[in-house]
Structure 1
Amino acid sequence: MPELHFPPAGTWTRADASDLGFNAGALRAAVRHAKDHESPWPVDVGGMVAKDDPPPFNRPIGPTRPRGPATGLVVKDGLIVAEWGEPGRVDMTFSATKSYVSTCVGLALDRGLIGDVDEPVCHRVADGFAGEHNELVTWRHLLHQTSEWSGTLFGIPDTVDHNRSAADAPARKGIPRPLQQPGTFWEYNDVRVNALALAALRIWREPLPDVLAREVMQPIGASSGWRWEAYDNATVSIDGRDMASVPGGGHWGGGLMIDSFDHARFGLLWLAQGQWNGRRILQPSWIQAALAACPQNDRYGFMWWLNPVQSVWPNASEGAFAAIGAGGNVVFVAPERGLVIVTRWAANPNNVIDRVLAALQ
C-alpha cells in the first residue's frame, strides 16, 4: 500500500485523481451520477423516523435535523480526489452510528473495562441483563446483533424490531416471535443496539460522546461540529451524575450528527488499522475481530458491514467494509485500494461506490 497521508486538524490536501491511478473521466462520471441520483427522502427527515413502527412507537423521541443534498468524498491514500454536495454540512447519519458504538466498546476492551467480548455482560452491568435469558448475553452477541436481548428500553420494547430486515420493512416487522438462544439468531434490532450503548456507558461511567471525542475524534483531528444526540427520555444516573445514554442510530431520532470530512477521518483511521500518523488509537486485534464475519450473517461483523465473496461491492475485494445508515449514509473502506468513500443522501450508495471503484485503474 502506498504511504498514507493523515490530514492535520482543520485541513485536507487535494490531489489530482489521475496522479493516483484513477481514470479521471470515469471518476467525474461517477460523481455526476451520485449528484444526479439523490435520495428520495424529504428534506425534513423527521417524517422518515420510526415510520415503519406500530403506534405508539412510530414517532421521534430524539432530535432530527433537515438533510442536505447528495454529498460525498473520495479519499485515496488520505488525499481528497473528488467531492460533491456539502461535505462540511453536519447531518444525521442514522445507523452508521453503530460503527462508532462498536469502536467505543473496542476501546473499553483495550482499557480493561471489559475482560473479553465473550464475557456475559451481566458480570459488569446489572441493569437490563438479569434473568435466565438476558444473563446469557455476551458483548460479542450484542456487537454481532445476535443477542436476542429481551426488554424495554427508554419506553420502547425489543419486539418493535422483531422480524426486521436491515434492507426493508417486511410485513411481519414488529410482530413478536419466540426468542432464540442468545448467539444463535441474527436480527437487526435497534433496541438491542441501544442496550449495548447503555451497557458501554455504564462501564465507561461517562457519556459515550465524551469517550469518542477524547479517545478518537480529537486525536484524528476531527472538527468540533459533530454531535451524538440522545433521546429526550434517555437519562440515567451513574455515580450520582445524570448522563445521557446515546442511541446507535437515528431510528427514533438522535444518533450521530456529523459532517462528511469527519466521517472520512474515521474511515481513514480504520483503513490505517487503528493508527493515526504513528499514534496507536485502536488495537490491531480489535480491528481484526470487528471485521470478522458473524457466524449467523457473513455480511456483518462488530457493527460493520462486510463484503463476502464480493457480494455487496463487486469491484472491491472481500476485505472491504462499511458503516451504513439509512438515507444513503455510508463510510466505505477498501484497504487494498487505500480508499475511503463517504456518501450522504444517495439513492443507491452501493452503485456510487462501485462506479468509483471501477474508475480506479
Structure 2
Amino acid sequence: MSNFDEAAAFASAHEIPWPRDPAADPSRWGVHHGDPPPFNRLRGPVHVRGGVSGVIRVRGAEVFSWGEPDRADQTYSVAKTYLALLAGMAQARGLLVVGERVSDRLPGIGFDSDHNRAITWEHLLTQTSEWQGECFGMPDQVEHFRRVSHDPKPPEGKKGERRALRAPGTYWEYNDVRINQLSLALLHLFRQPLPEVFLENVLRPLGGGTDFRWEGYEDSWVEIDGRRMQSVPGGTHWGGGVSISARDQARIGQLLLDGGVHQGREIIPREWVKRMRTPCETARFYGFLTWLNVDGRMFADASRASGFMFGAGGHTVWIEPEREAVVVVRWLDGAHSAGFVQLVSRALAG
C-alpha cells in the first residue's frame, strides 16, 4: 500500500458536486451562473468530465496516480498560469518587456484610453491592471467585486456592480475579462494561435500534449497577417479554455519546480519562473498568475515556498519545493482541499 492511498481515497470520496455531464443539470455545472445577465451564459464549448483523479511526482518521477490521469478535462483557471508561461516565452523572444506599457507595443487593441495607457504587462500578470473596457463583448464590470476562495479581502460589494477603478497596479481583483484581454494581447505578440505556441514549445518538449486543446468563444476570432485566429480564454468561466490531462498538468508543474528547465533545456527562462513565484506588492499571496503560500494562510500544511495553480471545479496543481514534489488533483470539492493537502503532506514527510 502506498503512503498516498489515503489521500487519493479522501479526494475520491469528496468529488465536486457538479454533474459529470454539463447537459444533465446545467444549473449545477460551472461558475457563469453568478454573473449578471446577459453575461451568465456559456460562450464556448464544454464537455463531459471524468471523476476525481490525480498525479503525484517526487524528485522528478511519478510515484502515484489514481482515477483517469490521462483523460483530458477542462481545467478552468489553471490555464491562467499557462498564459504566464507564454508571456515568459514572449519576453525571451524580445516580444515584450515586463515593465513596459502594453500600449507602447500594441496600439489599437484596447489599451489606448487615458486610464488603460498606463497598464504594463506586469499589471496584467498580477491581476492588478484595473483594465477597463470590453473584450469580445464582455465588459470588465462583469467581474467587479468577484470573490474567489483564496482571496483574503472581505466582501466589498455585489458581483457585477460597478465600482470606482483605481490606478493600474494599486488594486488586486480576480477578473477573467482582463485575463482574456491579456490573452488577446499575447496573440497579437506571437501572431500565431496561442494553443499552437503552447503545444509546440511547452507540452511536446515535455513529452505531453495528447488530446490537449485550448478553445475560445464563438465570437473570439481576429485576423492577423491575413490569417483568421481564435483568441482563447484563460479559463473555462464562460466555456472553452484548456482541456488537458492530469499527467500533462504534472509535467508543467515539474517544469516550474525545475526552474523552467527540462532535460537540460531551458524552456522558460529561469529568471521568469523566479518572477512568477515572487509576491506582488499589492497582493503578497499572488505572483505572475500563480497563487503563493508565503504566510501559510492558504494551506497550513504546505510549505511557505509552495506555489499553486487553481481552477474552479476542484482543480489544484501544487508545487512543493521543500519536498521536491508536484501534486495534481482534479474535481475535488474545494471545501475538502485543506484535508487533502494535509494527507499528502503527511505522506510526503514519510
What TM-score does the superposition give when structure 1 sets the normalisation length? 0.90
The 3-state SS of whatever aligns with 1:298 is: coil
Q: Is the 8 A contact 2:150 2:298 kept in 1?
A: no
Match of residue 246, structure 1, among 232, 235, 238: 232
1:125 aligns with 2:106: yes
Q: In the alignment, which residue of structure 2 is the partner of 1:10?
A: none
Q: Is the 8 A contact 1:31 1:82 kept in 2?
A: no
Q: In the alignment, which residue of structure 2 is the partner of 1:207?
A: 193
Deviations 1:209-263 (A, max 9, x none): 1111111111111033110011110001111111110000001001111010111
Q: Distance in 1 between matches of 2:338 and 2:182?
A: 28
**Greater shift after overlay, 301-310 or 312-321?**
312-321
Q: In the alignment, which residue of structure 2 is the partner of 1:277?
A: 263
Deviation at 1:34, TM superposition (A): 1.0
The 3-state SS of whatever aligns with 2:5 is: helix
Q: In the alignment, which residue of structure 2 is the partner of 1:35?
A: 12
Q: In the alignment, which residue of structure 2 is the partner of 1:299?
A: 285
Deviations 1:48-97 (A, max 9, x none): 24110111100000011112111111111122222221111110100000
Match of residue 299, structure 2, among 295, 308, 313: 313
Deviation at 1:300, TM superposition (A): 0.7
Q: In the alignment, which residue of structure 2 is the partner of 1:61?
A: 43
The 3-state SS of whatever aligns with 1:309 is: coil
Deviations 1:260-304 (A, max 9, x none): 011110011111111001111111110111111111111111000
Q: Is the 8 A contact 1:165 1:188 kept in 2?
A: yes
Q: Distance in 1 between matches of 2:45 and 2:126?
A: 27
Q: Is the 8 A contact 1:63 1:254 kept in 2?
A: yes
Identity %: 44
Q: Distance in 2 between matches of 1:117 and 1:168?
A: 25
User: What aligned pairs does 1:1-361 form with structure 2 within 5 A after superposition?
Assistant: 24=3, 27-45=4-22, 47-114=29-96, 116-126=97-107, 127-167=109-149, 172-347=158-333, 348-361=336-349
Query: Amino acid of the residue matched to residue 49 of structure 2?
Result: R
Q: Distance in 2 between matches of 1:251 and 1:141?
A: 21
Q: Is the 8 A contact 2:309 2:316 kept in 1?
A: yes
Q: Distance in 2 between matches of 1:93 and 1:351?
A: 21
Deviations 1:284-327 (A, max 9, x none): 11011111111111111100010012221222221110111001
Q: Distance in 1 between matches of 2:337 and 2:223?
A: 40
Q: Distance in 1 between matches of 2:281 and 2:329?
A: 28
Q: In the alignment, which residue of structure 2 is the partner of 1:5?
A: none
Moved over 3 A (4+): 168-171
Q: Distance in 2 between matches of 1:215 and 1:124?
A: 23
Q: Distance in 2 between matches of 1:359 and 1:40?
A: 27
The 3-state SS of whatever aligns with 2:42 is: coil
Aligned length: 337
After superposition, the Cα gap between the structure-2 partners of 1:243 and 1:71, relative to the gap in structure 1 and judged at 3 Å, is: same
The 3-state SS of whatever aligns with 2:317 is: strand
**Greater shift after overlay, 160-169 or 335-344?**
160-169
